[in-house]
Amino acid sequence: MTLQFDSQTVPINPITQQFDALVFDALILGGGAAGLMCALEAGKRGRRVAVLERAERAGKKILISGGGRCNFTNIHCRPENFISANPHFAKSALARYTPSDFIALVEKHRIPYHEKTLGQLFCDRSARDIMDMLEGECRDAGVQLFVKTSIHEVLRTTEFVVRAREMEFRAPVLVIATGGLSIPKMGATDFGYALARQFGLSIREPRPALVPFVFDDADRGRYCDLAGVSADVAVSCDGQQFREKMLITHRGVSGPAILQISSYWKPGQSVAIDLAPGSDVTAALRGPKTPRNITALRSALHNFLPNRFVNRWLDLHPPTAWTNSGLAELERLVHQWNVVPAGTEGFAKAEVTAGGVDTDELSAKTMESRKMPGLFFIGEVVDVTGHLGGFNFQWAWASGACAGRAL
Ligand SMILES: Cc1cc2nc3c(=O)[nH]c(=O)nc-3n(C[C@H](O)[C@H](O)[C@H](O)COP(=O)(O)OP(=O)(O)OC[C@H]3O[C@@H](n4cnc5c(N)ncnc54)[C@H](O)[C@@H]3O)c2cc1C
């Protein structure tokens, strides 16, 4: 069974009056999605594994994910769904541990699930099912989980020495699965990056991704009283395009289309929003039967967008003329409304962290450091970031499983 310890209550050796070093085959820092998957794979292969988790319980992010139902994978997972300085890096791990592998595990535990849209698989009941499954698998594999275990120091002697308060852990293998910087309120820290630097590995600048945009004061004044209004749009930036919902917020814009494009956006860039993808909005007005006036134009746009948004947008972008060229210009604007976000909501609201440990430093098959044998990095701390829709968990499972099988 899983031995779950609170490191503050592990007993002192009565003879030495000190904590003895706890020796394992592998230490995994971070009991999130990637760390638990790595632990259960290594445990199944007979390795004595300890997971050291800073929080009072493992898998906190899994529990809140997908609105509490955990979008645990995506059946259309392809390497193109991931962002990295090296777009080829994730291919090997993703091919070696696929959505079908994770679905098989979910089905083995008889967890009911459903496809929502676009291949996204969610639990029918709650994310708790996924946590119970991972904890059960770890228990069966003999994994030891130490919670409330905050690491102060990591040293490399003949093996890795990990110091947490009064405790010391030792193992020839160390796996870093401490996640990114997103949601500091839930305990995210830069620990993984600092440790990578300590061992001479380079980092691609971490940045918030899958994050809402904020507007400058002027645009906020123009649009944000419409907070709650949403529309089906196509959003483009940096050669990428996503067609999904956009939502106006009190500070800017959000919704799946915006979250997706935010992962590609860089400060200062404009984002092109197509308000009626694939449609010719002014076609009727250009014909002989429909009058050319603001009422007809409003009603044409109402076919694609909510009334309140149409009224505001037309107030701010009235046609320059009711001629064919004036209408053509308006049509162009409808399909390419350029917005320059003032910034993003930052790590406080970002679903993931892009950037991280440079993939050039790691083996694509095992996630082991090329410079420091025995040191592995998995999950969000690595410079691999998934699109919205279950891809980030799939990366956590795949990178965790590949490392776990190599320990
Ligand atoms: C609100 C929200 C909803 C999400 N929903 C989804 C979704 O539905 N589908 C999807 O695919 N992705 C989703 N994500 C993204 C997904 O949760 C992450 O990509 C994934 O959890 C990353 O796994 P990880 O194991 O690398 O890191 P984490 O899950 O962040 O785990 C890292 C663990 O390390 C621990 N830790 C940190 N520092 C230390 C330290 N110094 N010592 C010991 N332990 C430490 C942390 O406490 C944490 O438990 C969501 C993210 C958020 C914020």
Q: How far is the CA of 12 from the centre of ligand 1 (A)?
A: 32
pLDDT tens digits, one per residue of 136-175: 999 999 999 999 998 989 999 999 999 998 799 999 999 9
Dig out the tokens for 9 from the structure: 């209550």
Residue 19: pLDDT band (50, 70, 90) is: low
pLDDT tens digits, one per residue of 345-379: 999 999 999 999 999 999 999 999 999 999 999 99
The best mutation among 29, 178, 260, 391 to test binding of ligand 1, ranked by most ligand atoms within 8 Å of the C-beta, falls on 178
Per-residue pLDDT averaged across 316-343, rounded?
A: 96
Q: Output the pLDDT for position 332.
A: 97
Residues lining ligand 1, Cβ inside 6 A: 29-35, 52-55, 60-61, 64-66, 70-71, 150-151, 177-179, 182-183, 187, 189, 191, 351-352, 379-380, 390-393, 396
pLDDT tens digits, one per residue of 258-282: 999 999 999 999 999 999 999 999 9
pTM: 0.94
Greater confidence (383 vs 10) lies with: 383
Q: How far is the CA of 64 from the centre of ligand 1 (A)?
A: 10
pLDDT tens digits, one per residue of 279-302: 999 998 888 888 889 999 999 999
b/e map 227-261, b = 16+ CB within 10 Å: eebbbebbbbbeeebbebebbbbebbbbbbbbbbb
Let me know: does 76 contact 215? Beta carbons within 8 Å: no
Dig out the tokens for 76 from the structure: 């259309």
pLDDT tens digits, one per residue of 40-81: 999 999 999 999 999 999 999 999 999 999 999 999 999 999
Residue 387: Cβ-neighbour burial (10 angstroms; 0-12, 13-18, 19+):
buried
Let me know: does 118 contact 391? Beta carbons within 8 Å: no
The residue whose CA is least distant from atom 51 of ligand 1 is 351
The mean predicted confidence, pLDDT, of the chain is: 94
b/e map 343-357, b = 16+ CB within 10 Å: bbbebebbbbbbbbb
Q: Output the pLDDT for position 288.
A: 85
Q: How far is the CA of 151 from the centre of ligand 1 (A)?
A: 17
Question: Which string of DSSP letters, residue by residue, matches 26-78?
Answer: EEEE--SHHHHHHHHHHHHTT--EEEE-SSSSS-HHHHHGGGGT-EEEETT--
Q: Output the pLDDT for position 20.
A: 59
Residue 4: pLDDT band (50, 70, 90) is: low
